[in-house]
């Protein structure tokens, strides 16, 4: 602008400025048109049909990706992006994010006996891990003791076996539970394991109010994807409500629910399905807390999330950014939250186990590094990186160490933590964030449409009973498989760049002796306890299940009497019954 123009009143130069802006827009449009023509010609020169190429260029979730996003086809909404630590939290839940302190490195671990796993925990803590994350074996996840017929062949194989309070105490031997945070990935029998954890901490000399950590307890995703439940949904929701009440009153540092999208994504969902179904579960737990008379500003800050970081780098970053925005908006506008902490979608991330391959397993190190970087650039609060051999077995000590070092390299060498939300403002990343948000909101609307009373809870229960969630995930998984078979998507070492001479990988094998030893330990445990006291406590539990009484103190009393996991769960099944999912064709 010339000096004489700058001295003119603003009103006298507004038409001229408007003409300039219109000219710039025309120029931008003409430049974009010229680029698009050049783009098509470039593809044609390579023997590629431009239209077919556009249709083939999709995300892992089958969302068509434009070859270029810019001011010619997207307008950035700066208010929706905002600043870190400020509503709507698109750029991060904290003002400083990783400046001064990185994310928590929390490697998921558990295998064989409690002594084996305790040793691994000490190794991980000595190597620089910040907190613990417990992987339980299949019988424990299903609420069964190791000596039940259904447990045969599974004890200690996909995690650690915990049947008794003694097992829990040995699992955390020489680990001060009041000074370290522990995440426990368990859902159906979660309140029972929680009771064991609390009593084990009491025996270490701590009060429950001193304990910090996270219990997964997300029963909705069990019916949707993982299939590890004990009873019909309503009794599980009753138990979760009891847990929310108890921790809100007694344990200010504890997160009673980690709402999990990880298993939904691992089952084959798209990014938007993972986000929508997970947030919907979160909204249902908010409704559950409010139905108990709890203030969302009190319990909301202790709800946390657990997401998958898959291999599509930008889509995953966009998913995390969109999730924060949706959660904050719904908590404020629908559920009346006024406390900032209640609106924060804080989450743990695990890299995608389903992306790992048995073929050329060294490639898994690369996949995990890319996924971990996406989680960090998406603003995760804690992170687990999968080991290269987890597609075959539980990780060896060496593989677990490489996975841990992957995070440490990102944190300490790359410079990524220095800038908050470094991709924020990128036309493509903002476009993708908006797209994931739009698709997620569309799914949330469908869930509400299934509700008979306007609550998300009823929509979730209706979707579970009809099999709708499973059908949506199955359709998404089928579309991805079609892409692999058509060759429009690839898995290196499996569908492309295949080799026939893969060397056999040394893997961790769990001896059958673990199961035999655990069964013998249970025999000795039952012989050494007061059987009459155990039965009294189990009968008290059955009576409490028939009432509105909060079950958490009753469960702790049963644990203190040395009732086993399987016995406690069976006592509840005696009242609540068991659940079989409806067939979906």
Could you give the CA distance from residue 415 to residue 406 in angstroms, rounded to a whole number? Answer: 14
pLDDT level of residue 19 (50, 70, 90 thresholds): low
- List the single range of 120-129, 396-405, 568-577 with lowest mean pLDDT: 120-129
pLDDT level of residue 4 (50, 70, 90 thresholds): very low
pLDDT 10s digits, 251-289: 999 999 999 999 999 999 999 999 999 999 999 999 999
* Mean pLDDT, residues 204-218 taken together: 96
Cis peptide upstream of residue 26 (ω within 30 degrees of 0): no
**pLDDT number for residue 17:** 59
* Mean pLDDT, residues 472-482 taken together: 97
In the 3-class helix/strand/coil scheme, how is 280-305 assigned residue by residue?
A: HHHHHHHHHHHHCCCCHHHHHHHEEE
pLDDT level of residue 110 (50, 70, 90 thresholds): confident
- List the single range of 111-125, 267-281, 325-339, 563-577 with lowest mean pLDDT: 111-125
* CB neighbourhood size of 498 (10 A): 12
> Terminal CA-to-CA distance of the chain, rounded, Å?
69
Instruction: At 135, give phi and psi (nearest 5°).
Output: -105, 120
Instruction: At 103, give phi and psi (nearest 5°).
Output: -60, 160
The answer to whether residue 5 scores a pLDDT higher than 80 is no
The answer to whether residue 8 scores a pLDDT higher than 50 is no
* Mean pLDDT, residues 228-247 taken together: 96
Among the residues of 113-209, which ranges form H helices? 114-126, 138-141, 165-171, 190-203
> Please, what is the average pLDDT of the chain?
93
User: Which residues contact residue 485 at a Cβ distance below 8 angstroms, ignoring those fewer than 6 apart?
Assistant: none
pTM of the model: 0.92
Residue in the structure block whose two tokens are 């930008």: 314
Residue in the structure block whose two tokens are 């060498």: 413
pLDDT more than 70, % of the chain? 95
- List the single range of 7-11, 114-118, 419-423, 521-525 with lowest mean pLDDT: 7-11
**The two structure tokens encoding residue 256:** 């009673």
pLDDT level of residue 585 (50, 70, 90 thresholds): low
Torsion region of 293: left, alpha or beta (phi above 0 gives left; psi -120 to 50 gives alpha): left
**pLDDT number for residue 7:** 39
**pLDDT number for residue 25:** 63
Question: What pairs with residue 133 in β-bridges?
Answer: 108, 183
- List the single range of 117-121, 411-415, 422-426, 458-462 with lowest mean pLDDT: 117-121
Could you give the CA distance from residue 260 to residue 220 in angstroms, rounded to a whole number? Answer: 9
pLDDT 10s digits, 332-387: 999 999 999 999 999 999 999 999 999 999 999 999 999 999 999 999 999 999 99
**pLDDT number for residue 2:** 39
The answer to whether residue 23 scores a pLDDT higher than 70 is no
**pLDDT number for residue 96:** 98
Residue in the structure block whose two tokens are 């900032």: 340
Q: Where are the beta strands (DSSP E) in 499-583?
A: none
User: What does the domain layout of the chain look like in residue ranges?
Assistant: 78-101+216-486
**pLDDT number for residue 288:** 98
Instruction: At 58, give phi and psi (nearest 5°).
Output: -125, 160
**pLDDT number for residue 20:** 60
Fold of 78-101+216-486: TIM Barrel (3.20.20)
pLDDT 10s digits, 278-333: 999 999 999 999 999 999 999 999 999 999 999 999 999 999 999 999 999 999 99
User: Who has greater pLDDT, 217 or 157?
Assistant: 217
**pLDDT number for residue 6:** 37
- List the single range of 125-139, 430-444, 449-463 with lowest mean pLDDT: 125-139
The answer to whether 134 and 110 are in contact (CB under 8 A) is yes
**pLDDT number for residue 436:** 98
pLDDT level of residue 15 (50, 70, 90 thresholds): low
Could you give the CA distance from residue 258 to residue 165 in angstroms, rounded to a whole number? Answer: 23
């Amino acid at each position: 602008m010339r000096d004489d123009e700058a001295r003119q009143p603003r009103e006298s130069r507004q038409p001229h400025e408007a003409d300039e802006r219109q000219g710039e827009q025309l120029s931008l449009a003409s430049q974009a048109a010229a680029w698009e023509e050049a783009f098509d010609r470039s593809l044609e020169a390579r023997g590629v049909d431009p239209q077919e190429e556009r249709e083939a260029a999709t995300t892992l979730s089958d969302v068509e990706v434009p070859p270029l996003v810019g001011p010619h086809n997207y307008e950035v909404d700066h208010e929706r992006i905002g600043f870190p630590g400020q509503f709507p939290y698109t750029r991060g839940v904290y003002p400083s994010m990783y400046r001064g302190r990185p994310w928590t490195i929390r490697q998921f671990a558990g295998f064989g006996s409690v002594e084996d796993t305790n040793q691994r925990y000490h190794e991980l803590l000595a190597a620089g891990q910040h907190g613990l994350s417990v992987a339980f074996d299949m019988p424990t996840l299903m609420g069964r003791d190791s000596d039940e017929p259904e447990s045969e062949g599974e004890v200690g194989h996909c995690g650690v076996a915990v049947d008794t309070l003694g097992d829990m105490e040995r699992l955390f031997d020489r680990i001060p539970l009041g000074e370290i945070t522990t995440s426990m990935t368990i859902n159906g029998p979660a309140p029972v394991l929680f009771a064991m954890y609390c009593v084990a901490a009491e025996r270490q000399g701590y009060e429950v109010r001193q304990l910090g950590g996270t219990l997964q307890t997300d029963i909705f995703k069990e019916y949707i994807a993982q299939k590890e439940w004990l009873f019909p949904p309503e009794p599980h929701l009753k138990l979760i409500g009891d847990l929310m009440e108890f921790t809100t009153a007694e344990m200010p540092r504890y997160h009673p629910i980690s709402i999990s999208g990880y298993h939904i994504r691992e089952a084959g969902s798209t990014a938007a399905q993972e986000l929508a179904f997970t947030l919907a579960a979160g909204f249902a737990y908010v409704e559950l807390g409010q139905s108990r008379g709890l203030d969302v500003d009190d319990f909301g800050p202790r709800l946390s999330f657990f997401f998958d970081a898959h291999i599509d780098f930008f889509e995953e970053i966009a998913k995390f950014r969109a999730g924060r925005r949706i959660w904050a908006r719904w908590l404020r506008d629908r559920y009346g939250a006024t406390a900032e902490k209640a609106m924060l979608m804080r989450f743990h991330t695990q890299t995608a186990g389903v992306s790992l391959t048995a073929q050329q397993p060294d490639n898994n190190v690369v996949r995990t590094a890319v996924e971990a970087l996406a989680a960090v650039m998406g603003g995760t609060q804690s992170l687990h990186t999968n080991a290269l051999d987890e597609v075959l077995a539980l990780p060896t000590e060496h593989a677990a160490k490489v996975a841990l070092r992957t995070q440490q390299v990102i944190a300490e060498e790359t410079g990524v933590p220095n800038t908050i939300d470094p991709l924020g403002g990128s036309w493509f990343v903002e476009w993708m964030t908006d797209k994931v948000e739009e698709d997620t909101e569309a799914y949330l609307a469908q869930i509400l449409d299934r509700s008979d009373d306007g609550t998300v809870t009823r929509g979730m229960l209706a979707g579970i009973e009809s099999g709708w969630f499973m059908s949506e995930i199955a359709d998404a998984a089928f579309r991805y498989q079609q892409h692999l078979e058509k060759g429009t998507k690839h898995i290196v070492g499996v569908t492309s760049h295949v080799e026939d001479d893969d060397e056999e990988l040394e893997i961790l094998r769990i001896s059958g002796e673990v199961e035999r030893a655990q069964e013998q330990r249970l025999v000795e445990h039952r012989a050494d306890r007061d059987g009459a006291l155990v039965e009294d406590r189990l009968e008290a539990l059955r009576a409490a299940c028939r009432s509105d009484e909060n079950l958490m103190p009753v469960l702790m009393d049963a644990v203190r009497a040395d009732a086993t996991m399987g016995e406690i769960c069976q006592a509840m099944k005696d009242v609540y019954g068991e659940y079989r999912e409806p067939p979906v064709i």
